[in-house]
Structure 1
């Protein structure tokens, strides 16, 4: 089980449900089902982009990727991850906002009639599919710890909540047929659409916030604190004057640059000795692997470090 394989399955199921939702929405006359299909379709498209970025990041770590793909992207592809996450979250918020406006307009116009029998079939199939993908995604991400899969699980959770609300509403509409409350039937579809939109509107906001922080290279406090601790210890241990540390998180990538200010006239050391110091500091910083970009430099001139 890999990140791309999990995302590929999610894309396939999402596209299938999106088409299923749009068709059933048109057959039943339900705006909420059409909205669910469109929302799901947008999620599928953005998951496809997420899969592409995941592949680019993975390929850039091997020799073939270095020879072919990274020739024009020597800094890697990490920066694409927060862009995709931010765009995905923004589109989902925009879709929910538009759905809310349409629902309010429909309520003010007297609602709409729909076929509750077909609507119930759609809601049941969609809910079972969404719950199945949530369980599968969460289990997979316990091992993979992927931001893309986490966002995908969040999207499936939103979809399940939306579909559950639709199921409850359609069941209510089906039960009140032929009763004194049947006059409420035209309002059920736009009312549940408005409720669902109000619920899902704020859910992607944390993802958008985190993605924006990565795009703007906002320094993560805990990460900076750890680097400062390691650099300060190195200054004391090796007799350096001071240091400058620059830290940023870009998607799954961590970019760290540490410049040590050494005293003028320090006794010469071999390059191997300086590399040993770098290895020592790198181990203390931690997080070794293809997603860490660590630069350690030594200079007597502060201008090179600022």
Structure 2
């Protein structure tokens, strides 16, 4: 699993398998929380497929060679802008699913709960929680090298799913244990109660992802990157005697867009283009992070209007 796309393919396959298992066992056992777990997994799998499509587009658009020709002609600015859109949509859907389940769980509590077959529910929860934890660990380890926002969110989704299923397992074990005891009357309330608690814990989890995605979509200037670019530009201005500079910086998903305009004094002796290229290379090295996901534009002009 050396690429983002391969890891996402494995995640999609496992998610669809667990979603089908969840819906089947949920219907057989009569558990709305298990059905929700399956639907939640289906939602996550659908968004992961979309994430895989975007990851493929970004990889193809930043690759060199004739295979990239048609993409480069149709989408000259790349596909980085799609990444925060998908991340934001994913986070909002996961949050929306949890809110919807919370409303249903509260409604069930108010109407006397529901009975379910605890033995079937326990089998499902035990198998599923092991698979979900294994997938979360697998993606976290893979992402240490890949450093992908998609994989980070997908790993978080696996952890959220594992937390939900673990809570269900504990609740089902408790419900099974109290059968035939004086407190067996609690049984109908176990399923909606644990779903309520889990949903309350899950709803805030995607908020940071949604906030970052919204900042990327709105091209909010990242303070750390802007500070670094300003330091480099000020150093170049002082070293070569330029009048000033203008810096425009944005982070769009994994992409970094940097535009630098240096105001050159009028009347300077002419320089060969090779000399300006050499200076651009120096600025590029000082900024760092040269990769297919960095979009760097450097302009030298005597007219400030071209920079504003």
Structure 1 length normalisation: TM-score?
A: 0.99
The CA deviation string for residues 30-71 of structure 1, in whole angstroms up to 9 with x for no partner, is 010011111111000001111111111111122234312222
DSSP-derived class of the 1:54 partner: helix
Does residue 20 (structure 1) correspond to residue 21 (structure 2)? The answer is: yes
The CA deviation string for residues 231-271 of structure 1, in whole angstroms up to 9 with x for no partner, is 00100111100000000000000000000011111111000
Does residue 138 (structure 1) correspond to residue 140 (structure 2)? The answer is: yes
Q: Which residue of 1 aligns with 2:227?
A: 225
Q: Which residue of 2 aligns with 1:274?
A: 276
State how 1:23-102 maps to structure 2 within 5 Å. 23-62=24-63, 63-102=65-104
Structure 2: gaps (5+ residues) = none
Q: Which residue of 1 aligns with 2:181?
A: 179
DSSP-derived class of the 2:23 partner: helix
Q: 1:292 aligns with which of 291, 294, 301?
A: 294
Q: How many residues align?
A: 306
DSSP-derived class of the 1:70 partner: helix
DSSP-derived class of the 2:274 partner: helix
Structure-1 separation of matches of 2:205 and 2:94 = 9
Structure 1: gaps (5+ residues) = none
Q: 1:234 aligns with which of 225, 233, 236?
A: 236
The CA deviation string for residues 69-94 of structure 1, in whole angstroms up to 9 with x for no partner, is 22211000000100000000000000
The CA deviation string for residues 154-189 of structure 1, in whole angstroms up to 9 with x for no partner, is 000000000000000000000000000100000000
DSSP-derived class of the 2:296 partner: strand
RMSD: 0.7
Structure-2 separation of matches of 1:88 and 1:186 = 33
Q: Which residue of 2 aligns with 1:203?
A: 205
Structure 1 residue 275: Cα displacement:
0.5
Q: 1:164 aligns with which of 155, 163, 166?
A: 166
